[in-house]
Structure 1
């Protein structure tokens, strides 16, 4: 036998000896030098002092040099229904394994102020003007249609001529009551 085999055999004999004759303290009694836990606080949800049933209490006498017996209290069990709500309960369920992401959360949506509605662009093109009596007439075109407009006149169902004072024609967009202008050139 080699030196290595002798060492392994010696360790095997030591392990068998410790297994057979090692710790002789009976189960349930603490060995000397083991610190006993202090009595626990009441953890009942009602906050009232709950008394544990006699089956949950055990008195252990600590063998030793004239010390008083220590009391170990086993905490009462909390019912499973309180710990884990059933799937049909109204209690909010927790996701035990939530997905994690390193991306920042999206920014909070800021409510947009409602923008005032704006009149659409003027669909008419300026074609020309004429001074008739003491009143101006302006010729406007939309597609193949030619309109002759005077001050105070409603046309196209949505516009009213507010004023004609060269170099501008002022129109009132009736649905929104907004003024729009068209350049019409000088007074010649």
Structure 2
């Protein structure tokens, strides 16, 4: 079976080569630079040519090739397909400065701000002889907390009810809760 498939492919290749059109001109080489020869200018064409030289015409090079540079006009209206496209802001420094100004105005205003988000992460609990101790993590440090005790300078563990821990933010005397899950 393999020999039949290879033979059929060889026959198809030979037929394609036999019936392919002939090439005109042979192998095409790289483009060659041509020089412009000065054509005789009639008297009617001379003043027009001299009066309107191209704005960005370059002088002819030493080898006799005349190069002209023309500015792009139509492409600029279409836009750049390969331009950097992003949802990120272009001026992060300005945004950071605006955020800093907003924070300063918030601090200067007399309206009391709400308490910050709880900095605690619940790690677990331990119950021994009816006394439950709660383990929290604050800024990478492990802390043992009991109801009615200050957890750090700003928080007091007020009470535990079911799967929530109730804290009081002492500077504003506002309550906050931390969901810890069911007891095992």
- Name the TM-score class by shorter chain: 0.3 to 0.5
Greater fraction helix: 2
Q: 1 or 2 for the larger relative contact order (CA 8 Å, sep ≥6)?
A: 1
Q: What TM-score does the superposition give when structure 2 sets the normalisation length?
A: 0.38
Q: What TM-score does the superposition give when structure 1 sets the normalisation length?
A: 0.37
Greater fraction strand: 1
